[in-house]
């Protein structure tokens, strides 16, 4: 295997990359939305800050463990070959210590400055992603992202628990939305990175069942996602502003999925992947705005 030269990076930057900061930001954003939705007014600022920090630390720790476990796989993939774990510029011991420090500090912050429920739920999410998904499901089945998607869908419940010290049905409604959003989001990436995943040896859906099958499932999931996004309005946790935003955004998601299904191109798959990230951020942003509209 030919090694891929990487641009010079500071040691701090190499560690930061292991935490997958862009993915972490979206997850923490959804957790923060959960915090605000859990409160009939403005949540206590100290709790919001502490919960945000604690959840971010444990999420970062989970992603670092993921990079550690998948270092050999990452080295075979163009998209991930420049990670420090794949290149061997950071040792396994260093990653373990780094992840342990982040995770341990996050648990302390959540336990002492938020509440034990949030700590245990966040720790369970860490185990679900870093161990169950990464070590067991991902190399075992092409449905890995479907089954393992629950851990990635948990941030709104974590945020809700931080403020309310409970996880009611409304919080699980938000979890369901992300749970259904995750497969088409990830499969769009896997489609235009199909050659990479074929080299990795991982049983990703486009590799095991082909692009046409994957495109069909993206389309089917986009309709399921549309239905799921209506639930906050149906259960009266949101109003017309959110409903309009959900219909427009989900309609755009379906449009992208339909176009991808009818005539595939890597560029269109890439556009769907990028839009799916914006979609989730805007959808949860609309939930927050609607929440404030209903309050005031």
Per-residue pLDDT, 9: 66
In this structure, are 180 and 205 located in the same domain? yes
Query: Cβ distance 106 to 56 under 8 Å?
Result: yes
Q: How far apart are CA 125 and CA 31, in angstroms?
A: 13
Per-residue pLDDT, 8: 52
Decide which of 134, 166, 198 is a domain's last residue.
Answer: 166
- Fill in the DSSP letter of residue 168: -
- What domain range is 258 assigned to? 168-296
How many C-beta atoms lie closer than 10 Å to residue 48's C-beta?
Answer: 20
* Per-residue tokens: 215: 């495109």
Residues whose CB falls within 8 Å of the CB of residue 266, separated by 6 or more in sequence, listed in order: 191, 192
Angle 120-126-131 from CA coordinates, rounded to 5°? 125
Residues of the chain with pLDDT under 70: 1-9
**Axis-axis angle for helices 155-164, 169-192 (nearest 10):** 150
Number of domains within the chain: 2
Decide which of 166, 190, 221 is a domain's last residue.
Answer: 166
Per-residue pLDDT, 5: 45
In a domain, 5, yes or no: no
Question: Which residue do the tokens 């245990």 mark?
Answer: 120
Instruction: Classify residue 46 by burial, with Cβ atoms within 10 Å: 0-12, 13-18, 19+.
Output: exposed
Query: Cβ distance 67 to 95 under 8 Å?
Result: yes
In this structure, are 14 and 153 located in the same domain? yes
The pTM of the full predicted model, rounded to 2 decimals, is 0.93
Per-residue pLDDT, 78: 87
Q: How far apart are CA 114 and CA 126, in angstroms?
A: 17
């Amino acid at each position: 295997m030919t090694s891929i030269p990487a641009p010079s990076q500071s040691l701090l930057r190499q560690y930061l990359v292991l935490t997958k900061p862009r993915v972490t930001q979206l997850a923490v954003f959804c957790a923060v939305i959960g915090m605000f939705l859990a409160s009939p007014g403005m949540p206590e600022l100290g709790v919001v800050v502490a919960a945000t920090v604690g959840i971010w630390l444990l999420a970062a720790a989970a992603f670092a463990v993921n990079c550690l476990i998948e270092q050999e796989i990452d080295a075979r993939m163009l998209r991930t070959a420049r990670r420090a774990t794949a290149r061997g510029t950071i040792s396994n011991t260093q990653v373990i210590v780094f992840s342990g420090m982040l995770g341990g500090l996050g648990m302390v912050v959540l336990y002492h400055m938020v509440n034990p429920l949030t700590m245990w739920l966040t720790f369970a999410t860490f185990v679900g992603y870093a161990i169950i998904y990464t070590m067991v499901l991902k190399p075992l089945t092409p449905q890995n992202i479907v089954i393992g998607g629950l851990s990635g869908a948990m941030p709104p419940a974590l945020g809700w628990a931080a403020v309310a010290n409970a996880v009611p049905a409304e919080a699980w409604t938000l979890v369901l939305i992300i749970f259904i959003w995750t497969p088409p989001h990830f499969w769009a990436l896997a489609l235009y990175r199909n050659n990479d995943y074929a080299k990795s040896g991982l049983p990703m859906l486009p590799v095991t069942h082909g692009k046409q099958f994957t495109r069909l499932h993206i389309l089917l999931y986009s309709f399921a996602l549309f239905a799921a996004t209506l639930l906050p309005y149906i259960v009266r946790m949101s109003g017309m502003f959110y409903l309009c935003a959900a219909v427009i955004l989900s309609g755009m998601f379906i449009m992208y999925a339909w176009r991808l299904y009818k005539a595939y191109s890597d560029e269109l798959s890439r556009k769907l992947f990028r839009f799916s990230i914006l979609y989730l951020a805007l959808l949860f942003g609309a939930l927050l705005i609607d929440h404030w509209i209903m309050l005031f």
